Chains A and B, each alone.
Chain A
Amino acid sequence: MTTAPRSQPSPLSAFFGRVLHKDKTLGPILLSPGFVFLAVMMAYPFFYAVYLSFTDKEAGSAANFTGFENYQKLLSTTLFAKTVVNSIVYTVFALVLKFAGGLVLGTLLNRPFVGQRAAKALMLIPWIMPTVFSTLIWNWILSPAFSIINEVLVGKLHLLAQPLPFLRDETWAMASLIFINVWRGVPFFGITFLAAIQGVSTEIIEASRIDGASPWVSFWRITFPIILPVVIIVMLISTIGTLGDFDLPFLLTRGGPNNATTLFALTSYNLTLGSGLIGLGAAVTMSMFPILVILVIASLLRVRRQQDNI
């Protein structure tokens, strides 16, 4: 009996065969498209922004290296001081309120009640509604000239003599901004916390109740520590988003009144695209970076410690 000779693989396919069968080479090959994408779309812009922040770059002119001059200039302005304070106030208050609101919402939705599914769907509306759309609605509600709330309280019900200064008083404007951010963000916190709470074993909770723990104690001593990694990650994501928030102040207040609601991203936008001061705008953006790095490292360390304890 004769057998047909086995055809020899070509050198090229043999080479690919060897490469694709080795873990050492397959891993980098599979990672490379993602790596290239991240390098071009994120790392390059980031490092270029770092570079620009050390230059006197203006729209239409060449960039000259000026060291820390942009940062020194920024530190000597009231605009930057206000930007930093506003951003911190906005982020801290919004996060605390979103955390508290989300926790309450998640806990309440974990209890069975009639219409629970509908409630879950309805509460997501602020989160899924396009920000531009919802902010324009809020703009009407809080408008200095035609606020519907003022129209009702002052004009129809005569409960107030003067309209509430939602967007024309510095404190009220910041409070309005925080309120809308919380209104928009609580559903995300609530639904994420709910998912985490539902993952906690009911047996542990029941055991604690048998041992005499009140629902309050049971929640803070058992449920909350178990969902803490989720809480930390959600807080981290939200911190990054809130600190860098642009659309809300841009659409609602344009940073006013008197720069009382200007945040990092809006100040950077105004300097860069409003005034053409690209180097300074980049420096504003970069000044946010150390805060975010510290937050990310602290949060991840906390999560790791928590996981080690478990």
Chain B
Amino acid sequence: MTQSKGVTRRTFLKGAGAAALGASATALASCQPAAPAAPAATAVPAAAATKAPVVLKGAKVNWLGGPWSFLPELDPVIDTFCNDWAKQNNVTLTFEREATNLNAKIQTAIETGSGANIIQLANPPATFAKSLADVTEVATFLGAEGGGYLPAGPFQCTSAGKWIAVPLGQHNWFINYRQDWLKEEGVDKFPDTWEEALALGKKLKAKGRPFGMTLSDKAGGDGNAAPYLILWAFGAKEFNPDGSLALDSKETIAALEFAIKLHNEAGDPGEVAYDDGANNAGFLAEKISMTANVNTIYLPALKNTPKVAAGMNHALPPKGPAGRFGACTLPWWGVLNHTKGADLDAAKDMIKQFFSMANMSKFYKAGQGYILPVLPKYESADIWPADPKLAIAKEMFKLALPAGYALPNQTKLSGLMQEKVMVGKLFSQACSTGNARAALDGVLKEINDLKLLS
């Protein structure tokens, strides 16, 4: 048995200033803890958010998340609503957006007990389960308002029977393809099966128009989605429902062997090391004919490269032997549990108000299908894009599964696997080396490392 006498950071750090030299671990631990929280207050009811400026008075909320760098129009929607809410409730609200080192900032906020109250992230909150406040009341309220969550919502945001985060929505990955180039091959729409897609891809690659799927571990977004379209279509999955690992299967090998063929015969050689922006840039530069992405190729193309926008279209992911699967990532907002009293009430209330259907519809509409709801009542709401090329969004709405399938909920291990983009790495390795079995063995070893270390 290991000795378990708790030594608090405060005890150890008493009298010490922030020290940055040396290990990053030390830098984290050297920061000062948060000031005591303000006394508790009663949260404003959702409907009264814009009318009652007193009950949360004096509370402070710091929001920390990534910018919506692929669709910057979404940031002002959040800012405008939340700043209005803060002003009317006399809450001091700050926004901090971190594009590249968000995880590091969140870990620092958790360790120091300061710097952030609400966090926004896409990787599973299970990784931070110990540091997130219970937001069951807020999630339950919003779920009831929206007709009950789609399975992906609680899958992503619950842990040990309670909601530790509230799902903001889902990004769905669908096929972005050059319809005009397909027409030159005598094909009108993107094929319905992966095998047909491979046959088409060979012809396109021969003309210098390869596919560009992000089969890579350098992309935290695309790399945690695009490879799953193949993995699941071939009947493979990462986990069994009982939590055991299911990746070591003949279905995984079949998926990898198909991916190797697709990469070698139809793919861009660089796709095994794409970052999140590489497929967008490649498509917009007319170097690739197909990729799996959200609508963040089409929307910029409408503004900047009209020829690409006119020539492209979207399609559902092709079917494999096990059927058709969509992949999604699910950003969420959570409250760090060092937030106490009135600050906690204010943080929860801000989420409740911002996520309410009346308001959230504006956010979804602004995204034009970039981020979709996880509540079925939105199906009849005025949020869906009018552009027929984006009608795919509504088709994808109920199709997509998040990484970690078929667990009942995300776990710390599934969260770490997504943080390290393990399935992206599996496909990248298989396609780079041409050896599916060796790639799988290597990734299984790494997953074992993650189990051991966490």
Task: Name A residues whose Cβ lies closer than 8 Å to a Cβ of B.
Answer: 40-42, 44-46, 48-49, 51-52, 55-67, 69, 73, 76-79, 143-147, 162-163, 165, 167-169, 254, 256-259, 268-269, 271-282, 285-286
Given contacts A45-B22, A64-B3, A40 and B445 within 8 Å (CB-CB): no
Q: Please state if A45 and B26 are interface contacts (CB–CB under 8 Å).
A: yes
Of A44, A51, A64, which is within 8 A of B2 by CB?
A64
Starting from the known contacts A144-B269, A144-B278, A168-B272, 13 additional A-B residue pairs (CB-CB under 8 Å) come to A45-B30, A58-B130, A59-B131, A60-B110, A145-B278, A145-B279, A145-B281, A146-B281, A168-B269, A168-B270, A168-B273, A272-B23, A276-B128
Contacts A45-B22, A62-B7 given; does A144 touch B12 at CB 8 Å? no
B242 within 8 A of A: no
Q: Do B446 and A272 touch across chains, with their CB atoms under 8 A apart?
A: no
| Complex alpha-carbon distance, A61 and B107, angstroms | 11
Verify A278–B25 contact, CB threshold 8 A: yes
* B416 contacts across to A, CB distance below 8 A: 275
Bound Cα distance A286, B22 (Å): 10
Contact of B26 among A49, A69, A73, A76 (CB under 8 A): A49
List the interface of chain B (C-beta within 8 A of A).
2-9, 12, 16-17, 19-30, 101, 103-104, 107-108, 110-111, 127-128, 130-131, 212, 217-218, 268-274, 278-279, 281-282, 285, 287, 337-338, 416, 419, 425, 428-429, 432, 442, 445-446, 449, 452-454
Distance, CA A198 to CA B83, complexed state (A): 65
A78 touches B24 (CB 8 A): no
Shortest Cβ gap from A63 to chain B (Å):
5
The residues of B that contact A40 with a CB separation of less than 8 Å are: 16-17, 19
**CB-CB under 8 A for A64 and B4, given A78-B445, A144-B272:** yes
CB–CB A42/B21 < 8 A: yes
Judge whether A52 and B29 touch: CB under 8 Å.
yes
Asked whether B2 lies within 8 Å of A256 as measured between CB atoms, the reply is no
Interchain CB contact (< 8 A) of B25 among A41, A73, A259, A272:
A272
Enumerate 27 A-B pairs (CB-CB under 8 Å) in ascending A order.
A46-B22, A52-B25, A59-B107, A59-B131, A60-B111, A60-B337, A62-B9, A63-B7, A64-B2, A64-B7, A65-B5, A65-B7, A67-B2, A69-B2, A79-B453, A144-B269, A145-B273, A146-B281, A168-B272, A169-B432, A256-B218, A269-B24, A275-B127, A275-B416, A277-B453, A282-B23, A285-B24
- In the complex, A115→B252 CA distance in Å? 62
